[in-house]
Amino acid sequence: MPEPAAVSVNGRPYKRIAVMGTGAVGGYFGGMLARAGMDVTFIARPATAEIISKRGLFIDSPKFQETIHAAASSDVASVRGADLILFCVKTTDTNSVAKSIAPYVGPKTVVLSLQNGVDNVEQIRAAGLKALAAVVFAAAAVPEPGHIKHFERGDLAIGGEASDAPELARIAATFVKAGVPCRISENIAADLWIKFVFNCALNAMSAIARTSYGAIGHDAMGFEAMIATAKETMTVGAAAGVALPQEDICEKLTIFAKKMGDVTSSTEQDIARKKHTEIDSLNGYVVRKGAELGVPTPLNQMLTALLKLIEAKF
């Protein structure tokens, strides 16, 4: 995936931030904000919230290893009073969690979706919340509650409508102050779909084969299946009005997969823990959208079916 371009940000950072969902993404980016001295509250499952409250959040990154102390709670009402909410829950929970926090979110509060998939913002807005999209470029995992293992990158692209410019500038300024590169995208829909293509091409294969991105990229048949799935996904995107340069994206996907080595997908990590995955928001979404638009999606359908058969055992 492309490295972020440098941006000039003049916005005023947010004062109080809530992180809804403290997995790898919420833990890393929320942890970076807390590490910079910002007022951050993590909303997490009870066991994780208790660990962060008592011992702090440990981030093991190539650049630093540090325990970060911040407020934590398992009560969704703890989002009350936040100026910015990092929305980092699994896509399977987007609709229900957005509805659950809505009574506690003020009209000026911005909800930033740091999630996989391409339709989270519209689901969050349907709950009556002011939402903007972010594309996450980070490899991270949660070895155990309260422990974030960060492998590489850790930057964001954010975007919205022209009228959202002031809020986007504030969000970017907030992250940049915390040492997180943050690019304001000129076409956030395209950026979301590019990340989506990468996820659809790699995540399910990584989970089904219980293997890494690098193994897929270096295996002849795995590589062919990855590229074919990416092209099928981009064909659906084009039919939905988001046209992407196929050859350019496939070249970047090839470089990415081969460079990532032993890193596995978040979907594979879910399967390892016998948890249900985000397949319905990834390859499953492609299948549904393809059916709606009259575009065949046999590869995405096969990957979805196989992963659901695995999930059925849990």
Q: What are the tens digits of pLDDT across the range 108-150? A: 999 999 999 999 999 999 999 999 999 999 989 999 999 999 9
**CB-CB contact of 302 with 249 (8 Å):** no
Strands (E) across 13-129 are located at 16-20, 39-43, 57-60, 65-68, 71-73, 84-87, 110-113
Nearby residues of 251 by Cβ (< 8 Å), 6 or more positions away: none
Please tell me the total number of residues recorded for the chain in this structure: 314
CA distance 46 to 54: 12
**Is-contact 57 34, C-beta < 8 A?**
yes
137 closest CA partner among 153, 117, 116, 151: 153
Q: How far apart are CA 102 and CA 206, in angstroms?
A: 35
Q: How far is CA 264 from the centre of its chain?
A: 15
Give residue 260's pLDDT band: very low, low, confident or very high (50, 70, 90): confident
* Position with higher pLDDT, 208 vs 5: 208
Question: What does each C-alpha distance from 271 to 43, 58, 255, 278 come to in angstroms?
Answer: 24, 24, 25, 11
Average pLDDT for residues 225-244, to the nearest whole number? Answer: 97
Choose which CATH entry (3.40.50.2000, 1.10.1040.10, 3.40.605.10, 1.20.1070.10) describes domain 190-311: 1.10.1040.10
Q: How many CB atoms lie within 10 A of CB 54?
A: 9
Q: How far is CA 80 from CA 7, 47, 84, in A?
A: 31, 21, 10
CA atoms within 13 A on the CB side of 52: 32
pLDDT at 81 over 80: yes
33 token code pair = 């904000």
Output phi, psi for 85, to 5 deg: -115, 120
Distance (Å) of CA 132 to CA 84, 105, 310 = 11, 15, 33
Please list, in sequence order, all residues whose beta carbon lies within 8 angstroms of the beta carbon of residue 106, skipping any fewer than 6 positions away: 81
Domain chopping of the chain, boundaries: 16-186, 190-311
% of the chain beyond a pLDDT of 70: 96
Give, for 67, the enclosing helix (H) or strand (E).
Answer: strand 65-68
DSSP SS3 for 266: helix
pLDDT of residue 263: 85
Q: Which of 55, 47, 48, 105 is nearest to 76 (CA)?
A: 105
- Banded model confidence at residue 6, pLDDT cuts 50, 70, 90: very low
Are the folds of 16-186 and 190-311 the same? no
Tens digits of residue pLDDT in 18-49: 999 999 999 999 999 999 999 999 999 999 99
In the predicted model, is pLDDT for residue 314 greater than 90? no
Residue 97 has pLDDT above 70, yes or no: yes
* CATH for the stretch 16-186: 3.40.50.720
What distance in Å separates the CA atoms of residue 27 and residue 39, rounded to the nearest whole number?
14
